[in-house]
Amino acid sequence: MSSRLRVALNLVYLVPGETGGMEVYARELLPRLAALDGIEPVAIVNRVAGQERDAPWHDVRCVVADVDARDRKQWVWGEQRHVPRIAKAVGADLVHSLASTGPGRLAGGPPRVTTVHDLHYAVARGAHFGLRGLGMRVLVPAAVRGSRRVVADSQQTKDDIVEHIGYPADRIDVVHLATTLPDVEPSSEGDLRARLGLGTRPVILSLAAKRPHKNVEGLIDALAGIPLERRPVLVVPGYATEHEASLRARAAGLHVADDVRFPGWLSTEDVEGLWRLAAGHVFPSFYEGFGLPVLEAMARGVPGACSDRASLPEVAGGATLLFDPSDVDAIRSAIEQLVGDAGLRDELRRRGLERAAEFSWERTAERTAAVYRTVLAG
């Protein structure tokens, strides 16, 4: 091995605009790794990502695997066959898979590191629908067992990997994620209030995906318990899922349909505008491998409240209100505190900004590079 470490980054999974937090992770980590002395990243992407010219994987050496990752079978085939072959062909010292799945033990090629973001398939069974859930139960353990070391987003995810996969704890490194504020002009408050029908009422924002383990039901139940004269509007943006119909039905059954907005996928400008006008952000999830929306709220100075489960207290670090997500009254109390107590909002805003400053993508990249060096030294 030369003094310059060549790392093949497995981005075969990444379909721009469709891969959520794992796409953010790749886009933010890749340029920070490239900026480190002694690290030479080589990006392995699929055909779809390869066509996006304005992407960070084109700022480094980039090889396109001949698969369309929108087809689940091609994605799996690309990771098991193309990634090890390409990594070997480019002379990579190791392979880093960034999205919880990757080449299995018998796939061959250079030694491997895998980042595991969560174990939803084992801990939160409703997180993945249909065949995707079944596939994750096979693919994640296979990738972990085929890796020299594993990167976990949080101590919670590390503990879950040890418990559910049986991988040795001393070969798992906790490397926290980070967040970057987009450089856009937020949509105006007046425009958003008019378009989304928010009126002049306080707004509670929740960037929780519409999946059972995110517990948006608990949020709706809590909202229904707040008297109408001081009830805020709840806004839950994001793409529709199979679960959204039941959420709408729940809101209607509790007579709060007029108090909940599901605006669907919004532009970055609209989301930033919602962050700016929100009285607070509430995240009631039963399970998270990291909980990026909690960090995003703190980084923007938005007062927050979140579940006291899994990784969320680890990320919040005492800078948000915590509640039991199974206790509707506790969620309701948190919402009412955020809306009704200006002094508390100011204190949470201050603490949140201080906590968010402890996370950075540069630190994430440095700690990830240290994992690479440990693998190749051992």
Domain ranges in the chain?
5-177+360-377, 189-356
How many residues in total does the chain contain? 378
Which residue is listed with tokens 């306080």?
A: 202
Pick the closest to residue 110 from 130, 90, 124 (CA basis): 90
pLDDT score for 125: 60
Q: On the CB side of 19, how many CA atoms lie within 13 Å of its CA?
A: 23
Q: Are 12 and 102 spatial neighbours (Cβ–Cβ below 8 Å)? A: no
pLDDT score for 127: 52
* Separation between Cα atoms, residue 168 and residue 148, nearest integer Å: 10
- Which CATH topology does 5-177+360-377 take? Rossmann fold (3.40.50)
What is the chain's pLDDT, residue by residue, as a tens digit (378 residues)? 457 899 999 999 999 988 878 899 999 999 999 999 999 999 999 999 999 989 999 999 999 999 999 998 999 999 999 999 999 999 999 999 999 999 999 899 999 999 999 998 888 765 544 445 567 889 999 999 999 999 999 999 999 999 999 999 999 999 999 999 999 999 999 999 999 999 999 999 999 989 999 999 999 999 999 999 999 999 999 888 899 999 999 999 999 999 999 999 899 999 999 999 999 999 999 999 999 999 999 999 999 999 999 999 999 999 999 999 999 999 999 999 999 999 999 999 999 999 999 999 999 999 999 999 999 998
Cα-to-chain-centroid distance, residue 12: 18
Pick the closest to residue 99 from 87, 83, 117, 125 (CA basis): 117
Domain 189-356 has CATH 3.40.50.2000: yes
pLDDT score for 121: 87
- Beta-bridged to residue 8, according to DSSP, are 42, 95
Pick the closest to residue 145 from 128, 120, 162, 121 (CA basis): 162
5-177+360-377 with 189-356: one CATH topology? yes
Give Dmax (Cα) for the chain: 68
pLDDT score for 21: 83
Which run of H or E residues covers position 28? Answer: helix 21-34
Write b or e for each residue in 273-283: b if 16 or more Cβ atoms lie within 10 A of its Cβ, otherwise e.
bbbebbbbbbb
Pick the closest to residue 340 from 234, 231, 258, 256 (CA basis): 231
CB atoms under 10 Å from CB of 198, counted, come to: 18
CB atoms under 10 Å from CB of 326, counted, come to: 13
Identity (one letter) of the amino acid at 148? R
pLDDT score for 3: 73
* Separation between Cα atoms, residue 323 and residue 50, nearest integer Å: 43
pLDDT score for 1: 45
